[in-house]
Structure 1
Amino acid sequence: MSYGKSITVYLMDGDSSQRYQVTLDNWNIKAYKIPVGLVAASNSLDSIHTAGVYFLFGYVEGQKSVYVGEAEDVYWRLTQHIPEKDGYIWDNAVVFIASEIGVLDKARVKYLENRFYNIIKDANSYRLLNRNEPTKSTITKYSEDAMEVVIDNIKLIIPVLGYTPFENLISESEFSSENEEIFYIKNTKLQAKCRFNLDIYMFNSDNPQSGLMPFTLLKGSQISNVKSSLRKSLKQLRQECIDSNAIKDGILQKDLRCFDSASYVAGFVLGRSSNGSIELRTNDGQTFKDWLAKRQNNI
């Protein structure tokens, strides 16, 4: 028989864009969600200097990414994750630590790290940033069973914080290419081209957490310089593409399938805040907004 469970979410700084504390009733492990810019300010959080398992969430070339790790002092370990050294950028850490001494120790958190690595790898919905599979510690059957309960509870809590690294996603290849259209972004300085899949777009309207991307910016598209109005996430994506040579001399070197809205495509290409419903047009000049309305009316 299944029973209901109560999860308490506390906005520690009174702002949904900052730190969270999450607890599950009758469970002696708590979670913190900590933005990268607030790690230094989290030195005094309860139990943050004890053993735990943690996840670093971000984006790599527009794809959702995660690093899973463990530490005997979670706070100290978070301060060691430096983009220049790690080779990737992360936005938020989600850490799980015990409020009672002995519940999590080095052997147990290493067991959790290995299990989560393999669960995320099998799901294949996030890019896993660990370079190697973590060593799986040998623990007693009693401890193993206890850690499997921890895993089940963490699987409940992570989606509450906006992440789904454990869920198997439907592949884009399962959708037909019959309802695809090519859209262009053109001005006097550049031309870019993207492919749009209507079936994926409609699927996402009922499944907003699917992770499927209906827009693919195509190789050879010309990319403008960044303006101040471009949102932070797109600036980061542009920089990652430049660093990896996916953008070279202002030209996209490979197809980029990481956009869930027309405005994200337009903003990425034009380097500024943009209305993709108008900026994206078919070869005969029809706006994305008008094209989509006509197709949806015929469904």
Structure 2
Amino acid sequence: MSNGRTIKLFLVDGTPLGLVTAEIPNWTGHILSAPRTRLSEALSRDEAGRTGIYFLVGEEAGRLKVYVGEGDCISVRIKAHAKDEDKEFWERVCLVTSKDFNLTKAHVRYLESRLVEITAANSRADVINATQPIGGSLPESDRADMEFFVAQLQMILPTLGLNFLSPKPALPDVSPVSPMMIPSELPVSPAAATAGAVELFLSHASTGVQARAVDVDGELTVLKGSLGTTQQNAQNSYGGLREQLILAGKLQIIGGDKTEFIEDVVFPSASAAAAVINNRNSAGPREWKLRNGLTLREWRDSLIDLK
């Protein structure tokens, strides 16, 4: 079991949806998060005039979108984005600076490049940056310091509801999904024994749906090779997300009536994943099942009953 950590959140105006600062004891980093409607107040603060990086965060069609930037005076860059009609997606801004003023231009250029790279690799959000930042070079000791800085951001940002830097959950080394797979006959994955991880299956003979996923602490990853359907006989609130996955090449239409996951895809909930696969609104906890036949909801309820 890993050691506990302390993260200090300060509600600047006493409301959780307003200006919020976040810090970790003995870490020089400082984070300020604010809704776009409070941008003027956020940019009037001292930290907005420092060298640092920033995130512009928004959502379209159920998919998180992020722009990562840097600047010697980050307020100047953010004001420019606020006037940019091509960047109207964002609803929240997050400023990352240093309490001891030790971040230099070279440091933030390195951080910008790494954070774009990590966000894209984790696939939890679409990166809006038009190009991959160069990043530049740093001495070995400075690179180590900046990698530690990145690790702290990965720890602290999820407490603000921003998990796009969080690493993908550790997935089992499983065989490719087969249309004829029978959960009870598949070998048990090493991840099945990992705390907080459970293998899940979803299938419907009428539509040809045959999907496999891993749930880690409530975050569900649909595995590459899983099959969904193009048939739609009911409303799908996640239709926009489904279309975005198709446009991104992560979900491919095959044979005219099926979709196939070309890579592992992380979903914020079991229902979102089920809706994309079934192409209709779906109660994920009732549709996903463990290999023993229990639904995800029944399994969760059994954990409560054991305590």
Q: CA deviation at 1:41?
A: 2.6
Q: 1:80 to 1:183 in 2, by over 3 A?
A: farther
Contact 1:53 1:109 in 2 (8 A): yes
CA distance in structure 1 between the partners assigned to 2:108 and 2:150 by the alignment: 11
Contact 1:60 1:240 in 2 (8 A): no
CA distance in structure 1 between the partners assigned to 2:177 and 2:244 by the alignment: 30
Contact 1:212 1:260 in 2 (8 A): no
Whether 2:45 is the aligned partner of 1:66: answer no
CA distance in structure 1 between the partners assigned to 2:49 and 2:121 by the alignment: 31
Provide Cα deviations, 1:141-197, integer angstroms capped at 9, x if missing partner: 44333323322222221222231424124679968575434599xxxxxxxx99685
Note the 1:132-151 alignment, pairs <5 A. Answer: 132-151=131-150
Q: CA deviation at 1:216?
A: 9.4
Please state whether the residue corresponding to 2:32 is helix, strand or coil. strand
Please state whether the residue corresponding to 1:95 is helix, strand or coil. strand
Q: CA deviation at 1:291?
A: 10
**Alpha carbon RMSD of aligned pairs, Å?**
4.8
Q: Residue 156 of structure 1 corresponds to which residue in structure 2? A: 155
Q: Residue 84 of structure 1 corresponds to which residue in structure 2? A: 85
Note the 1:215-254 alignment, pairs <5 A. Answer: 219=230, 221=232
Given the two structures, how large is their TM-score scaled by the length of structure 2?
0.61
CA distance in structure 2 between the partners assigned to 1:49 and 1:222 by the alignment: 53
- Partner letter of residue 260 of structure 1? S
Note the 1:23-62 alignment, pairs <5 A. Answer: 23-62=23-62
Percent of pairs with identical residues? 19
CA distance in structure 1 between the partners assigned to 2:123 and 2:16 by the alignment: 28
Whether 2:114 is the aligned partner of 1:105: answer no
Q: Residue 15 of structure 1 corresponds to which residue in structure 2? A: 15
Q: Residue 269 of structure 2 corresponds to which residue in structure 1? A: 260
Unaligned runs of 5+ in 2: 182-200, 249-258, 300-307
Unaligned runs of 5+ in 1: 185-192, 225-229, 245-253, 281-287
CA distance in structure 2 between the partners assigned to 1:97 and 1:126 by the alignment: 22
- Partner letter of residue 144 of structure 1? R
CA distance in structure 2 between the partners assigned to 1:155 and 1:291 by the alignment: 29
Contact 1:171 1:212 in 2 (8 A): no
Count of matched residue pairs: 256
After TM superposition, the structure 1 stretch with the greater mean CA deviation from structure 2, 117-126 or 23-32, is 117-126
Contact 2:158 2:166 in 1 (8 A): no
Contact 2:202 2:287 in 1 (8 A): no
Provide Cα deviations, 1:112-133, integer angstroms capped at 9, x if missing partner: 1112222333334432222211
Q: 1:116 to 1:291 in 2, by over 3 A?
A: closer
Please state whether the residue corresponding to 1:120 is helix, strand or coil. helix
Please state whether the residue corresponding to 1:47 is helix, strand or coil. helix
